[in-house]
Homo-oligomer: A and B are copies of this chain.
Amino acid sequence: MTGIKKKLLSMVAPDLEKIEVALKDNLTPHLDLVKETAGHLMFAGGKRLRPLLIVLSARICGHEDAFLTKFASIFEFLHTATLLHDDVIDGASVRRGKPVAHSVYGAPVTVLTGDFLLARALNIAAESESMRIIKVVSGMTEEISQGEIQQLIKKGDVSFSEEEYMDVIRRKTGVLIQGACKTGAILANASAAAEEALTSYGDHLGLVFQIADDILDYTADTKELGKTVGADLREGKLTLPVIHTLREASPADRSRMEAIVANADFTKDEFDILLGLLDQYGGIDYAKNIAAAHVREAKAKLEMFAPSEARKTLEMIADYALHRRA
Contact = CB atoms under 8 A, between A and B. Distances in A.
Interface of A: 29-31, 33-34, 85, 88-90, 107-109, 111-116, 118-120, 122-123, 125-126, 129, 131, 134-135, 138-139, 141-142, 144-146, 148-150, 152-153
A145 B89 contact: no
A141 B108 CA distance: 16
Given A33-B149, A141-B115, A146-B34, A108 B89 contact: yes
16 contacts: A29-B146, A31-B153, A89-B111, A90-B108, A109-B152, A112-B145, A112-B149, A112-B152, A114-B115, A115-B145, A115-B148, A116-B142, A116-B146, A119-B144, A122-B122, A125-B138
Which of A89, A149, A150 gathers the greatest number of chain B CB atoms within 10 Å? A149
Nearest to A90: B108
A179 to B, nearest CB: 13
A144 B114 CA distance: 12
B113 A142 contact: no
Given A31-B153, A34-B145, A119-B145, 16 more contacts: A31-B149, A33-B149, A89-B108, A108-B152, A109-B152, A113-B145, A115-B118, A115-B145, A116-B149, A118-B118, A118-B141, A120-B142, A122-B141, A123-B135, A125-B138, A134-B134
| Copies of chain A in the complex | 2
Contacts of A115: 85, 114-115, 118, 141, 144-145, 148
Contact of A33 (B89, B144, B153): B153
A282 to B, nearest CB: 32
A132 to B, nearest CB: 10
Which of A85, A90, A115, A118 gathers the greatest number of chain B CB atoms within 10 Å? A115
Contacts of A108: 89-90, 152
Contacts of A33: 149, 153
Nearest to A106: B152
